[in-house]
Amino acid sequence: MKEVEHNEESMEEFKKEVEMLDKFRSEFVVHFYGAVFARNKVCMVTEFATYGSLQDLMKHKTSNEIDMKLRVKICLDAAKDNILVFSLETIEKVNAKLTDFGSSRNVNLLMTNMTFTKGIGTPTYMAPEVLKKEKYKMSADIYSFGVTIYECVGWCEAYPKDEFKFHGK
Residues forming a β-bridge with 46: 32
Quote the pLDDT of residue 106: 36
- Work out the burial of residue 69: count CB atoms within 10 Å of its CB; fewer than 13 is exposed, 13-18 middle, 19 or more buried: exposed
Quote the pLDDT of residue 165: 56
- Tell me if 39 is assigned to some domain: no
Largest Cα span, the chain: 46
Distance between CA atoms of 9 and 100, rounded to whole angstroms? Answer: 16
Query: Between residues 167 and 13, which one has the greater pLDDT?
Result: 13
Quote the pLDDT of residue 62: 95
Instruction: Say how many domains are in the chain.
Output: 1
Distance between CA atoms of 89 and 106, rounded to whole angstroms? Answer: 33
Is residue 118 pLDDT above 80, yes or no?
no
- Tell me if 34 is assigned to some domain: no
> Per-residue pLDDT tens for 55-111?
889 999 999 999 999 998 888 775 544 566 777 877 777 677 656 554 444 333 332
Share of the chain above pLDDT 90, in %: 12
CB 66 within 8 A of CB 153: no
- Give the model's confidence band at 167: pLDDT under 50 very low, under 70 low, under 90 confident, else very high: low
Quote the pLDDT of residue 104: 42
- Work out the burial of residue 30: count CB atoms within 10 Å of its CB; fewer than 13 is exposed, 13-18 middle, 19 or more buried: buried
| Domain encompassing residue 145 | 49-164
Q: What's the pTM?
A: 0.60
- Tell me if 150 is assigned to some domain: yes
Query: Between residues 42 and 128, which one has the greater pLDDT?
Result: 128
Is residue 112 pLDDT above 50, yes or no?
no
Centre a 10 Å sphere on the Cβ of residue 164 and count the other Cβ atoms it contains. Answer: 14
Q: Of how many residues is the chain composed?
A: 169
- Residue type at position 84: L
CB 119 within 8 A of CB 111: no
- Tell me if 135 is assigned to some domain: yes
Which of 137, 140, 56, 63 lies closest to 99 in space, CA to CA?
A: 56
Is residue 35 pLDDT above 60, yes or no?
yes
- Tell me if 115 is assigned to some domain: yes
Average pLDDT on 163-167 reads: 56
* CATH at residue 55: 1.10.510.10
> Per-residue pLDDT tens for 146-160?
888 899 999 998 887
Which of 57, 45, 49 lies closest to 84 in space, CA to CA?
A: 49
